[in-house]
Amino acid sequence: MTAILTLPAPGAARALPPVPGRTTAPVLRRVAAGTARWATRALVGIAVLAFAGLALGPHAFGYRTMTMLTGSMAPVIDPGDVVITTPLAVADVTEGMIISYHIPIDDHRVVTHRVIDVDHAADGTVTVQTRGDANDHPDPWTAVLEGDTAYQVQAVIPEVGQVITALRTPWINHLLVYGAPTLLAGWLLLTIWRPTTTDDTTHDQDEEART
């Protein structure tokens, strides 16, 4: 019996099996590099937005930010949360509002508590009594709101105050002042002058030429 073998057509080429690791490694490197670039851009963008919101925004739009240091308003406002307050006419202060104001005793520090009683005098003087939501008793004072403007809490940003407090520590502050610009400049230089990787492409072309 004579066996008949089928020959490939002239000029036809058989596909060679892929070399293990040759196709996945470059893809993984590109994915990792792209992820690192976008992560860096995202961090820079978040830092810029946070700086604009906390440092520039109050001057441009008139709101104020402050970090809650105690748990007197928990669970509405926890320690480390940042509150955003907006100006409000003193005459418009009513019960139930959460306001930030200077207490009339001791060091006259600013507190952020809820108004539980308000008195509008005929001469326009507004006197309030407040209490922290987590406290069992009202604050041991009544406060006369000075000026024409009070500040009402409009929003709470959780945990951001913890980050701000950490950033104010001396060694982190120095690191941000001197290290962050250096890292940013280095990243920009690498982005501009980074050479294009051609090793894998050249090797693939050599393999095709040999086949």
- The angle formed by the CA atoms of residues 77, 79 and 82, to the nearest 5 degrees, is 65
Quick count: other Cβ atoms within 10 Å of Cβ 31?
A: 10
Q: What is the mean pLDDT of residues 158-186?
A: 67
Q: Which tens digit of pLDDT belongs to each residue from 79-137?
A: 889 899 999 999 999 999 999 999 999 999 999 999 999 999 988 899 999 999 999 99
pLDDT in tens, 20-76: 555 566 777 777 777 877 877 776 666 666 666 666 666 677 788 888 889 999 999
Q: What is the pLDDT of residue 110?
A: 93
Domains of the chain from N-terminus onward: 63-158 (2.10.109.10)
* pTM given for the model: 0.58
Q: With residue 116 as reference, give the H or E element that holds it.
A: strand 110-120
